[in-house]
Structures are given as C-alpha cells and as structure tokens.
Chain A
Amino acid sequence: MAPNPVLEIDGLSTSVGGLTILDGVSFSIGDGEVVGVVGESGSGKSMTALSTMRLLPASVGVTSGRILFEGVDLLGRSETEMRRIRGDRIAMIFQEPMSSLNPVLTIGEQIVETLAWHRGMDRARARRRAIELLDLVEIPAAAKRISDYPHQLSGGMRQRVMIAIALACEPKLLIADEPTTALDVTVQAQVLDLLRGLRQELAMSVMLITHDLGVVAEFADRVVVLYAGRVAETGPVKALFREPAHPYTRGLLASIPPLDGPLAKPRPIPGSVPALVDMPAGCRFHPRCAIAAGRCTATQPPFVPLDRSHEAACWLAGPGGTP
C-alpha cells in the first residue's frame, strides 16, 4: 500500500452481460506517485481507468469494490458531483488526441471552456491562463497558436494541447491512457520528457496506462501488471523489472526483443489471452504457464508478499511457493 494514497482501488469488479471483466482489482497510488498499469489487450487496464473516471459504457456495471479518491468512494458520487471532479481534481488524457479534441473549436476555446466551467473564470483571464498553459506544455508561440484548430497541429502538438487541458485545473490525479502510443518514437520521447517534468513541477499523482514496458520503466515509480482482469503482480519499478515474480511478467519481459546487448531470440508466451466467455478456472494464466501444476488449475492464487510492497498472485511465487 502506498503511503498517503491519493487513489485506492479496492476489490474492483465489473461485468458485462453477466461476464466478469475486472475481477477484484486492488492497488493504490500515493501522493505524487506515478503508477504504471500494464497489460496486453483485454487485460482490463483501460476499464480500470474508465471505472475511476466513472465513464464506463452503460453496458458495463461495477459489481463490487470501492474506488477511494482522497478517502471518499467515487462509486458513491452522483453524476453531478462527478462532473465537478472530472477535469478538475482528476483529469484524463487519451491515446488519440484528434478524437478527443473538438474539431470545430480552437484549442484556446477548449482550454477556456474548462477554466470557465470549473473555475468560473471570465474569458479574458481564462485566455491569459490558457496561454500560460500552452507555454507550460512547450508549445512554441503559444499566444499565436491559441487560435489554431486541432487539425492545424501535428500529432505531438495535439497531445500537448490535451495535456494542457488536463492540467488546466491542476488536478491531483492524472490518468494517462496510452498517452504516447499513437506518436512516433522521437515525438514520444519529447512528450514523455514533458510529462516527467510536469509531474515534478505540479506534484501530481499519475496513473499511466500502457502496453509498453519501456515507457513504464522510464516513467513509473511502481507497476501494476494486469492479466485477464486480475492483478498478476505489483511492485516498485526496479524490483519488478529486476526480479519479476509472476510467470506472466517474466514471459512478458522475455518476449520483448532487446534493443542492444547480446542478441537473445525473444521467447513468446504460448497461446493467447483467454476470451471473456472462456475464462480458465484457478489462475487465469495457467493454460499458458510453463510451470503451472496442481492448485494452479483449480484455485485462484493469493497475493504472495515478496519484498517491500512487491507481491505476486502466484502459487509458486516466493521462497515457500508450491503448486
């Protein structure tokens, strides 16, 4: 558990049409901490973010759990209260900035809108603040660029605008859902640098959702590895990369081809992520796990504590692990 958690997700389960998607997801994000939530498609990482923002599609229901933000359960908030929290105390940036920005409003108007709604600022003041924010996200010639429409900007610049809007009200928690996945690698490096600097400057907590373990390694303090709707492993970033304890985490790391050093053939994990209608019993990873045996196929493994806040949901983890 993180010290002074800003966000505490506790036993969160969601379902769609009677099928469980998230199954008892728990983790917390400390004050000023960056927590990377990683997993492959279908792991539930985006759903975790949307649950926190209370932006789940109508077909998905939360079946149990709590999402405590600054100590108060977000799941108990009314829609009106949530509307005040979203974009103010908790802000979110998405993968594809073009589909999240309004194409018929200038970027300035979109920032002004946020400030007027949440802070009741008059237009002149909000506009001055908008220019400051565009400066903050290092958009050159901010005072001129403020009148541009989203289509006039490059992908990297649009993502900077999204970040400026998200930071307009100095949120306590920023949820970044694949913030650099749609960007080219040289532009990704710029945006990651920017986020790193801003997080320090503004003392924000960040939930970083990504499939890219490289991005997590560079930016996160702690990591939560999700597999098929459950937390497989969680721990400080260094410990988790140095000594991954869950066979899924190990498999994920081994399947990435190295960029330098000795040329090791990437070792794939056999099979693929199970479908919702076909979730295996016991540990959900067991059909793809090389060391699964005995209990793994029948009983859900508990969290085995390994080291300072490093734990893995595996029967075989830790010194005393037996299948």
Chain B
Amino acid sequence: MTRPILLKAEGLTKHFGGRPRLFGSDRPVLRAVDGVDLEVRQGETLGIVGESGCGKSTMGRLFVRLLDATGGKVEFDGVDLLSLKGRALTAVRRDLGMVFQDPWASLDGRMTVRDIIAEPLDIHRVAVGAERRRRVTELLEVVGLPASAADKHPHQFSGGQRQRIGIARALSLKPRFVVLDEAVSALDVSVQAQILQLLGDLQAEFGLTFLFISHNLAVVRNVADRVAVMYLGRIVESGPTQALFETPRHPYTQALLSAIPVPDPERPRRRVVLKGDVPSALAPPAGCRFHTRCPLAQDICRQTPPVVTVGADHTAACHFAIPPLAVS
C-alpha cells in the first residue's frame, strides 16, 4: 500500500556564504542543509521535526524553490525541480504552496483579504473579474471564513483567522504539494486544534501532500503519516509516525521526545537531559553531528554513521541504531 513518490531529494545541500573573496580570508560557510535524502509520498503528511537551526525551514524553502540549493537533486513528480527555469519553473510553481508561521508578518496589512488571496491568481493570470471574485469567495468558504471577509484587512482578524487567510492564499492555485512551516506554532493552543482540523479536512478533500515542519512533536505525532528528525542539517531518523514515537532508535530522537514537558503532573518521567547547546552550523562536529552531546557516543562516532534500517520503512543514522546481539 506504499503510495507513489511525489517528491524525492538526494544529497540536497544548501550552504550559505563561503564564496571566496578577492582579498582576505574566505567567508565562513553555514551548512544549513547538508546532504539530505528524503522521499515525500503522494497524499501523505510528512512531518519534519528538529530544534531551531537544524535546517528544517531552509529545506522546506528549497522544495518550493523559494531558495536555490547549492547541491543535490530534487525530483518533483519526475521532473528535476532544481534545474527548472523560466516558463517551466513558473508552471511547476503552481503545484507548490507554502504556509508560513507568523500570520501577523506574512500577510500584507495594506492589502484587502481579497487581494491577498487573489495575488497568486493575478501573477499566474488564471482568473480576472467575476471569475477572480468567485474563486476568492470559494477559497474563503473552503477555509471556513465568510465571503464578507474579502473586503476587510488582515488586522481585523484574530490569529487563527489570519492563518486561515494564509492557507486560502496557499491553496489558490490548487497546488499538489504544500509546505507548512510552523503553520500552527504562533497560535494559541485552543485555536491550534481548529487549524489542524481544517488542514486535515483540506488534505482529504483535495488530495494534498503536506510537508509539515514543526518543533512541536506532539502536534506532528497527531498529523503526520511519517516523520523525519533533523539535527544540524541532516536527517538522523525517519519512519512511520507510530514507530518513531514508540520505538525511537536515534539517541537524539530519544532525548528530544523525553525533553518535552507533558501536561500530566502524576506521570513519572525518565528524562535524558542533554548537555550543552546545539553546535553552530558554521562548524558542525565531524562524523555524527550529534556525538558532542550524545550520551552513548564512542570513538567511532567521529566517523559518519551509516543509515541503518531499523524497522519497516524506519531508518536511523547512528552507529548504535541496532543494539548489539545479546550473547547467550
């Protein structure tokens, strides 16, 4: 029952800076995304989790061509996404949508909601006049807002309503693949669940494929079919949601899961408290990037770990992902 692959990344890399100067020393290279292999399947929600600076947002932007990669390959529906230019790129952009974190910052306050939602339609010249009006009304309805919202400005709406407007805009060109970058993180928890419900309904109705980027693991557990965990520009573990949450195999995933405060004061918890902070992406540790904070690290961890299959569709990049066989 494996779904067909919609998007496939191989060795995807995005380095910032680093172009040699004519005089003086080279600029430091920030390795935001550093060799990511990833598959996103048709109609699924793939959750991307990790802490700030792990490269998850940069990766999302590479997939919708908001940023250009410095290396690697991305195939979208069989097309080489990264080499597209001009008209071919414009055409494929219609298939790619994006919803941003902050509904206060991502909507232009001087525009009406109608113009915000219709802007992609205008740019791609797909609807004018009455058809444009009809599409805006339809999109508002789809995201649960009244048609009267079209003539208002973003400041007249609450955070949750604004995020609905952002979603309507992302869907205006009927994309097939939508990157949701911390799409509910700025919202109050009681409103967060409303937007998650809406996203689930929209996915079912339009057969959308979601890349759901979030630092909130509980939310991801709830919406994702599969999850990939990122640390310092690399994917350290990926697998079906249930397997990843119940039997995490990478020590970083284990630490991340154990660190989350749970709203139940009566549950005793075993916590893996990591030492120190995430190292800088300007100078990531050699080998396994997690080895400087890993409670299990050994000398071998200074070498790049293999990606090990630890279960059905479940892989971890760790020298110790497979526990040594017990000697009987």
- Residues of A whose CB lies within 8 Å of any CB of B are 40-41, 154-157, 184-190, 192-193, 211-218, 237-238, 241-242, 251-253, 255-260, 263, 265-270, 272-273
Contact = CB atoms under 8 A, between A and B. Distances in A.
A184 B222 contact: no
A163 B278 CA distance: 21
Contact of B158 (A154, A156, A255, A272): A272
B193 A259 contact: no
A263 B196 CA distance: 14
A256 B263 contact: yes
Contacts of A213: 189, 263
A58 to B, nearest CB: 24
Contacts of B194: 268, 270
B222 A257 contact: yes
B273 interface: yes
A255 to B, nearest CB: 4
Counting chain B CB atoms within 10 Å of each CB, the highest count among A41, A156, A184, A242 belongs to A184
29 contacts: A40-B189, A40-B190, A154-B277, A185-B217, A185-B259, A186-B51, A186-B278, A189-B261, A189-B274, A190-B274, A193-B273, A211-B188, A213-B189, A214-B260, A216-B263, A218-B265, A255-B189, A255-B190, A255-B192, A256-B218, A256-B263, A257-B221, A258-B221, A259-B245, A260-B246, A265-B222, A268-B192, A269-B193, A272-B191
Contacts of B258: 189
Contact of A273 (B188, B262, B263): B188
Interface in B257-283: 257-266, 271, 273-274, 277-278
Which of A157, A212, A255, A266 is packed against the most chain B CB atoms within 10 Å?
A266
Contact of A241 (B159, B218, B260, B264): B264
Contact of A253 (B222, B246, B263): B263
B52 interface: yes
B241 to A, nearest CB: 9
B222 A266 contact: yes
Contacts of B159: 41, 272
Contacts of A266: 192-193, 196, 222
B233 to A, nearest CB: 15
B160 interface: yes
B261 A260 contact: no
B303 interface: no
A257 B190 contact: no
Given A154-B277, A189-B259, A252 B190 contact: yes
B143 to A, nearest CB: 15
Contacts of A155: 277
B222 A263 contact: yes
A211 B277 contact: no
Nearest to A42: B188
Contact of B218 (A192, A251, A259, A268): A259
B256 interface: yes
Contacts of A267: 193
Contacts of A257: 193, 196, 218-219, 221-222
A270 B194 CA distance: 7
A217 B271 contact: no
Given A263-B221, A266-B196, A185 B260 contact: yes
A273 B191 CA distance: 9
Interface in B83-98: none
